[in-house]
Amino acid sequence: MNPADTFKDLAATTAIVFALTQMIKPWVKNTKFHPILSVFWGLLVSYGLMWFSTPYNEITKQLIGVAILSGLISGLTAGGLYDSTQKSVHPVAKIEDKKPVR
């Protein structure tokens, strides 16, 4: 397996997970569950891609482990993209509202 292909697959999986999380967000009002949804989608998409792209007799424990790790990484990355944009905007506004300290 070529490492460059692995990174391309991980980037594509992250984009898919991010899109699926964005689709589900209107129905899940509590924002603390959005990163959990991202990790769930990451595991599901990564495991599904491994299952459907590999012949049944070639699936090993190592391949399942790689799929789980890839799913966790893509889920956490997609969840982190959502959280970082939301959290980075508010502190900047609060800092600008305060008077300078002398």
- 29-40 tens-digit pLDDT: 888 888 888 889
- What is the spatial distance between Cα 71 and Cα 99, in angstroms, rounded to a whole number? 45
Indicate the pLDDT class of residue 21, thresholds 50, 70 and 90: confident
Residue 96 lies in a domain: no
- Kindly state the tokens that stand for 18: 């991010």
DSSP class of 101: P
Per-residue pLDDT at 70: 85
User: Into how many domains does the chain fold?
Assistant: 1
Residue 102 lies in a domain: no
pTM attached to this predicted model: 0.67
Residue 95 lies in a domain: no
Per-residue pLDDT at 100: 59
pLDDT by residue (tens digit) across 49-98? 888 887 878 778 888 888 888 888 888 888 775 444 455 544 544 555 56
Residue 71 lies in a domain: yes
Owning domain of residue 18: 3-23+31-87
Sign of the CA dihedral with 54 first, then 60, 61, and 66 last: negative
Residue 94 lies in a domain: no
Residue 50 lies in a domain: yes
